[in-house]
Amino acid sequence: MNFLVIEGNIGAGKTSLAKKISHDYNARFVGEQFADNPFLEKFYENPKSYAFTLEMSFMAERYSQFTSELQNYNLFSDFVVADYYFIKSLIFAGVTLNDKEYNLYRKLFNIIFARLIRPDLYVYLHKSSDKLKANIKKRGRSYESNINTEYLSKISSAYFKYFKQQNEFPILIIDANNIDFIENEDDYHKLCDTILNSKYKKGITRIIH
């Protein structure tokens, strides 16, 4: 495997896991640069007014970062771990935009997505909305303070809806509600074994840890 994606809802621990794997397995880490987005805090304060602007800016930023980061690597020999994939743009847009905005957004997304490399394995860390909310509170980002469980549930549902329609690359859905891959080394090593030492077919594979 050369290109691994670790994803999940807000607060699922995807960045922490991706960084830990990249460090322990001598991989190159590609992390989403979302903190500098000038519309993010405004969106959380007023979603209807800033949704389309936010999603368009995220799509542009992700495409720019994704292509510039990956073109520096040889995906036939380097091991690359990313904490997001471009489909994240479509997932969140489907929740935040109205129908007319989303239809336009999807047309632009499809044009760009057709050009992008597919991952060897896409891992989705699933956690309940309550656990996500607790993790979000723990990390204490002020602009995330207004995120509610209803919004998190909609994001989770949007991911699963997309997964059911996708068969271009393997998707490994891991129920991570009862494991702590950050503080518990046994949990972490078992998770790494599941991700790195098995082969998965295109489409969905579900695993409960």
**pLDDT, tens digit, for every residue of 134-154?**
888 888 777 677 788 898 999
Of the pLDDT bands very low, low, confident and very high (cuts 50, 70, 90), residue 162 is: very high
Q: Output the average pLDDT for the chain.
A: 89
Q: What is the CATH number of the domain that holds 26?
A: 3.40.50.300
> Per-residue b/e over 125-135, b at no fewer than 16 CB within 10 Å?
bbbbbebbbeb
Of the pLDDT bands very low, low, confident and very high (cuts 50, 70, 90), residue 208 is: confident
- The structure tokens listed for 39 are 């519309």
Query: Active site includes 120?
Result: no
- Give the span between the Cα atoms of 203 and 169, in whole angstroms: 6
Domain count, the chain: 1
Choose the weakest-confidence range: 22-26, 30-34, 121-125, 141-145: 141-145
Distances 111 to 44, 63, 67, 104 between C-alpha atoms, Å? 28, 12, 15, 11
- Annotated catalytic residue within 24, 78, 83, 187: 83
Which range marks the domain in which residue 168 is found? 3-208
pLDDT tens digit string along 31-88? 987 656 778 778 878 888 889 998 999 899 889 888 887 776 766 678 999 999 999 9
Q: Which residue has the tokens 């995330």?
A: 144
Task: Answer for the pair 86, 62: CB distance below 8 angstroms, yes or no.
Answer: yes
Sheet strands (E) in 46-140: 80-82, 121-126
Residues in the chain: 209
Query: What pTM does this model have?
Result: 0.90
Q: Which residue has the tokens 């509600």?
A: 177
